[in-house]
Amino acid sequence: MSNSKQTVIVTGASSGIGFAIAKAYLERGYNVVGNARTAERLAQAANELGNPANFLTVAGDIAKPETAKMLFDQTIKHFGGVDVLINNAGVFIAKPVNHYTETDLNALVATNLQGFFYPVQQAVTHMQAHGGGHIVSITANIGLQPTAKLPAALPVLIKGGINAATRHLAVELAPTNIRVNAVAPGIIETPLHGNFADAQAFLNQLSPSGKTGTVQDIVAAVLYLTDSAYVSGTIMAVDGGAAAGVW
């Protein structure tokens, strides 16, 4: 089915930042395709959004190349194409470097690295054949400016790598009219941090502004990048100034 509307894919769309991004694009009139690991959580998200006709859910583990292919195939079949890819799915595990386990490493590589790379491959193949598009990845500010207050070597390794890859891809893909950007959040109040209230005092210390952010702060950055046709290769820190340096 073809559709003249713009279409966006959002991974990790069932909760937190991904859900808020999906909601914002729906409010703008986009076709939105939400991916998450389980159909049940996606169905719950769709219900919370009012089950709009222009919201398609595609369940599956985004760490697998076949899931990324299915996600794009179903989006193209249903809506006719993909204009924007939001790589949002991610897990975060912070601990001293020598405390990480093989299970930790595998989880972070699967969701954060493979879950970025396979959808990007699908997006580039499709967008190069259809005149361009936009890829935005949700990374992490500690990939720009590590802090001793939060030991997190593996997220820094992977999210920092995606920050670097974003700049590379912006250059590589510019001739085919594909823009590539990233939003690098600091501490945002989401389910990712568990019982947020219990850790609030500590988390506030991770920004020189002395406060944490909201999902709407990230949504605003994503929408700005979507609207800004001349912006590519940018890693936009949304972190109360934490990536600016030591304080």
Q: Between the CA atoms of 155, 194, 224 and 173, what dihedral angle is there, to the nearest 10 degrees?
A: 30
Per-residue pLDDT of the chain (247 residues), as tens digits, is: 445 699 999 999 999 999 999 999 999 999 999 999 999 999 999 999 999 999 999 999 999 999 999 999 999 999 999 999 999 999 999 999 999 999 999 999 999 999 999 999 999 999 999 999 999 999 999 999 999 999 999 999 999 999 999 999 999 999 999 999 999 999 998 755 556 666 788 888 889 999 999 999 999 999 999 999 999 999 999 999 999 998 8
Residue with tokens 């934490």: 242
CATH number of the domain within which 208 lies: 3.40.50.720
Q: What is the spatial distance between Cα 131 and Cα 116, in angstroms, rounded to a whole number?
A: 22
Count of domains for the chain: 1
Asked if the structure places residue 106 within a domain, the reply is: yes
Residue at 2 is within a domain: no
> What residue numbers bound the domain in which 56 lies?
7-244
DSSP class of 131: T
